[in-house]
Amino acid sequence: MTLIGMLHHRAEPEKVKKAYAYAVVAKAEGVDFFYFTPGKVDIKNKKILGKYYENGKWMEKEYPFPDAIYNASYPLTDEAERTIDYLSKRIPFTSHSIGDKSEVQNKIKKGKEFKHYLIPTIQFRGEKDLLDMIELHDQVIIKPVSGSRGSGILFIEKEDGNKYKTNDSGKILSCSKQDLIDLALLKIQDEEYIIQKFISSRIKSGQVFDFRLHVQKNGDGEWMTTSIYPRIGALGSITSNLGSGGFTAFPDPFLQIEFGNEWINVKKTLEYFSVSFAKHFDSLYDDFYLDELGIDVGMDENQRIWLFEVNWRPGIPVIFNGELDVARNTINYAKFLADNNKF
């Protein structure tokens, strides 16, 4: 029987909500499963002190090295990183980092096939970059290269008479060119930022929205769509991220309301895009295979798709009860890796 380990930095699986889902799904799929942390790995004897779930409790047990590892979190210490590095050279890991926003953009550009879905973007290095992009596009956003949950994003719109409208985390101001420059340059003092053309992806109420396309590999190692759902920004917000005040809705009713008779075509377009993009994007990485992506796309008034962002280890809103779907795909993909030794 295939043995799969779930690697996480937290010592207690009770504090990792999805650990239970993975334990339940593994049992249903006929896979041995245990939870462990880097500190419980005995490299010398190739043993791991892990935990398995039974009769409502997590019980401790010594295991051999597993056939595949679902690496569910980052290492927190140098020692943990060394342990994970050792394991990853000998055991298939399901998940691999895709890099930051700039690296992802550059890969897609080099891949060419999906290049036309990218939003015009440049690295924000100074005043000239900022003013040139505003002159070219009138509306732009600047956002951190390594940011998440919509944090740190600044919206800028050029107005008449050398005035600029800004929206900085919901704080809306009208400012002069110099004030704008000062505000923007302050952001890049501590971290890297990019500047993008602002794409107007809005529902009928005027609120911004995008679609999260959640894709995974299944037990045959093939890409599939796990879920597609809209993310709608709060009134006045420039981001639709759920972690910064956004909310979601069930996809079919949303599509019917927003796109009328076209809703089925929009749904099919998103489903096709999600899998075809995932296959292409996966092919851009030479050293490993990807297992799961959260692809964020906008749709403008002409129903043109724009690629906003690509994420690895994407979450899923609780309203969809999708934890078991995600866990089933991950467990079966880990079994596929183990059976085929694709590493």
pLDDT the model gives residue 343: 42
Q: Which residues pair with 247 in a beta bridge?
A: 232
Structure-model confidence comparison of residues 200 and 86, the more confident one: 86
Is the full-model pTM beyond 0.75? yes
Environment class of residue 243 by beta-carbon count within 10 Å: exposed (0-12), middle (13-18) or buried (19+)?
A: exposed
Handedness of CA 92, 93, 99, 105 (dihedral sign): positive
- The per-residue pLDDT for range 30-51, each reduced to its tens digit, is 999 999 999 999 999 999 999 9
CATH T-level assignment (fold) for domain 101-118+202-312: D-amino Acid Aminotransferase; Chain A, domain 1 (3.30.470)
Whether the CB-CB separation of 68 and 90 falls below 8 Å is answered with no
At 214-232, the pLDDT tens digits run: 999 999 999 999 999 999 9
Average pLDDT, integer, range 7-31? 96
Instruction: Write down the pLDDT at residue 322.
Output: 79
Residues 268-278, mean pLDDT to the nearest whole number? 98
| Same fold for the pair 3-88 and 101-118+202-312 | no
pLDDT in the model for residue 168: 87
Mean pLDDT of 152-164: 89
Q: What is the largest CA-CA distance in the chain?
A: 72
Q: What is the mean pLDDT of residues 124-134?
A: 94
Residue range 245-256: average pLDDT? 91
Angstrom distance (rounded) from CA 26 to CA 4: 9
Return the domain boundaries, the chain.
3-88, 101-118+202-312, 121-197
Q: Average of pLDDT values for 249-264?
A: 96
Q: Which residues contact residue 79 at a Cβ distance below 8 angstroms, ignoring those fewer than 6 apart?
A: 38, 39
**If we measure between CA atoms, which residue out of 161, 186, 191 comes closest to residue 175?**
161
User: How far is Cα 2 from Cα 334, in angstroms, rounded to an integer?
Assistant: 9
Q: To the nearest whole number, what is the mean pLDDT of the chain?
A: 92
Of 79, 83, 99, the C-alpha closest to 91 is 83
How would residue 161 be classed by pLDDT, with cut points 50, 70 and 90?
A: confident
Q: What is the CATH number of domain 3-88?
A: 3.40.50.20
